[in-house]
């Protein structure tokens, strides 16, 4: 029975992914900063561990407690939107610490065991912002685009050892806690000079149209984790698929 370690499982895409892997019969290591079992499956195939992907000691402890890992799903992420010129460098560093360096740190912690076994998959969850330019998302996009390039190169390196690296690119999911989690970072990042520009963009976020659900992402993460081809990118959600096809 294979084991998947999934980061950021407290809500949203990570929670849905943990649920899906468990239903498919996997051993699941569900990690989050503050461990809780709300909405997670009950059973001996699921372990909940504390993990802060920005803390080296936390990463070391979680990986040591997990045992052999067949699939690493780097899902944990934070968001923020706003005018770049008004975004504090502290917020920029916070996004990169989790979305970029956190992914790299987790990958570096797990890859050695996969390399030794000559088996394993790293699935990095990015965003549909990597598929097309979007306004008021420069920092978030940069943090995710870095992982796109990182994963493409990593796939070539690890392929020599029969280890695969994949990208899952979710579309916009307003039903997740992701947007709410970014609200404090967004305070003051839309200066008066940008108000007229930003108003219709934010209004469009709530407009009817295709959106991405947790189940959409969970399905695609599982598909990527079990794909043995050289395919690198897997858009998730109707909106993301449409963007990928038009790119």
Q: Which pLDDT tens digit goes with each residue over 35-59? A: 988 888 777 899 999 999 999 999 9
Per-residue tens of pLDDT for the chain, all 247 residues: 999 999 999 999 999 999 999 999 999 999 999 998 888 877 789 999 999 999 999 999 999 999 999 999 999 999 989 999 999 999 999 999 999 999 999 999 999 999 999 999 999 999 999 999 999 999 999 999 999 999 999 999 999 999 999 999 999 886 554 444 544 555 558 899 999 999 998 888 766 678 899 999 999 999 999 999 999 999 999 999 999 998 6
Q: Residues 13, 140, 172, 194: which is the catalytic one? A: 140
Contact 38, 15 (CB under 8 A): no
CA 105 to chain centre: 14
For residue 177, what pLDDT is reported? 46
Under a CB-based contact definition with an 8 Å cutoff, are residues 170 and 212 in contact?
yes
Domain of residue 240 covers 3-246
Angstrom distance (rounded) from CA 6 to CA 81: 25
Q: Is 37 exposed, middle or buried (0-12, 13-18, 19+ CB in 10 A)?
A: exposed
Go through the chain and tell me how many residues it has. Answer: 247
Of 177, 146, 208, 178, give the one whose Cα is nearest residue 81.
Answer: 178
Residue 61 C-alpha from the chain's centroid:
21
The domain tally of the chain equals 1
- pLDDT at residue number 169: 98
**Per-residue pLDDT, 178:** 45
pTM for the whole structure:
0.93
Strand partners, 47: 29
CATH number at residue 218: 3.40.50.720
Q: How many CA atoms lie within 13 A of 6 on its CB side?
A: 32
Rounded distance between C-alpha atoms, residue 133 and residue 181, angstroms:
22
| Site of tokens 């993460």 | 221
| 172 is annotated as an active-site residue | no
Paired residues of 22 in beta bridges? none
What is residue 45's predicted lDDT score, i.e. its pLDDT? 94
């Amino acid at each position: 029975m294979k084991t998947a370690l999934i980061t950021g499982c407290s809500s949203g895409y990570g929670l849905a992914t943990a649920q899906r892997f468990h239903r498919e019969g996997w051993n699941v290591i569900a990690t989050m900063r503050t461990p809780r079992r709300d909405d997670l499956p009950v059973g001996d195939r699921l372990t909940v561990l504390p993990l802060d992907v920005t803390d080296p000691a936390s990463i070391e402890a979680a990986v040591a407690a997990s045992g052999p890992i067949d699939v690493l799903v780097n899902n944990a992420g934070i968001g923020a939107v706003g005018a770049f010129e008004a975004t504090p460098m502290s917020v920029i560093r916070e996004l990169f610490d989790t979305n970029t360096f956190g992914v790299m740190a987790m990958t570096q912690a797990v890859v050695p065991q996969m390399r030794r076994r000559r088996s394993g998959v790293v699935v990095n969850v990015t965003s549909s912002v990597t598929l097309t330019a979007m306004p008021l998302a420069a920092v978030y996009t940069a943090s995710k685009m870095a992982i796109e390039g990182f994963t493409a190169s990593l796939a070539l390196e690890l392929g020599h050892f029969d280890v695969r690296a994949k990208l899952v690119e979710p579309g916009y999911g307003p039903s997740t806690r992701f947007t709410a989690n970014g609200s404090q970072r967004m305070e003051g990042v839309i200066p008066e000079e940008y108000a007229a520009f930003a108003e219709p963009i934010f209004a469009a976020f709530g407009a009817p149209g295709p959106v991405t659900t947790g189940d959409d992402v969970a399905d695609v993460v599982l598909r990527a984790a079990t794909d043995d081809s050289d395919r690198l990118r897997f858009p998730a959600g109707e909106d993301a698929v449409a963007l990928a096809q038009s790119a």
